[in-house]
Amino acid sequence: MALRRRPLAERVCRSLCAYHGNAPDTRFEGKAMWESYADEARQIIDGAGIIAFLAVVRVVAQNPSLTEKLRADLLGALEAFEG
């Protein structure tokens, strides 16, 4: 069984947390420390246009003129990236 990747927002939160010198899984105000970076992570994801980019890739992956392998590869990459 393959390990499931964490969702994109959580990965960004954890990275921000570590960047600021905090251990992501430390408890802070009853939650994991990484959760306190949710607003910043959302701003980064939105500002970078990641959601829009993923939406375009998803549409392209549905294009019937692409080979089945290419469509499967695109959808697999999306799934792996999004977590």
What digits encode the pLDDT tens for the residues 6-59?
Answer: 899 999 999 999 999 999 999 999 999 999 999 999 999 999 999 999 999 999
Residue, of 65 and 5, whose pLDDT is higher: 65
Judge if 13 and 40 occupy the same domain.
Answer: yes
Judge if 36 and 54 occupy the same domain.
Answer: no
Judge if 55 and 79 occupy the same domain.
Answer: yes
Report yes or no: 24 and 45 within 8 Å, Cβ to Cβ. Answer: no
Domain ranges, residue 5: 1-48
Judge if 42 and 13 occupy the same domain.
Answer: yes
Residue found under tokens 């105000």: 29
Judge if 8 and 43 occupy the same domain.
Answer: yes
Judge if 35 and 55 occupy the same domain.
Answer: no
Domain count, the chain: 2
Closest CA relative to residue 12, chosen from 53, 42, 55, 49 = 42
Report yes or no: 24 and 17 within 8 Å, Cβ to Cβ. Answer: yes
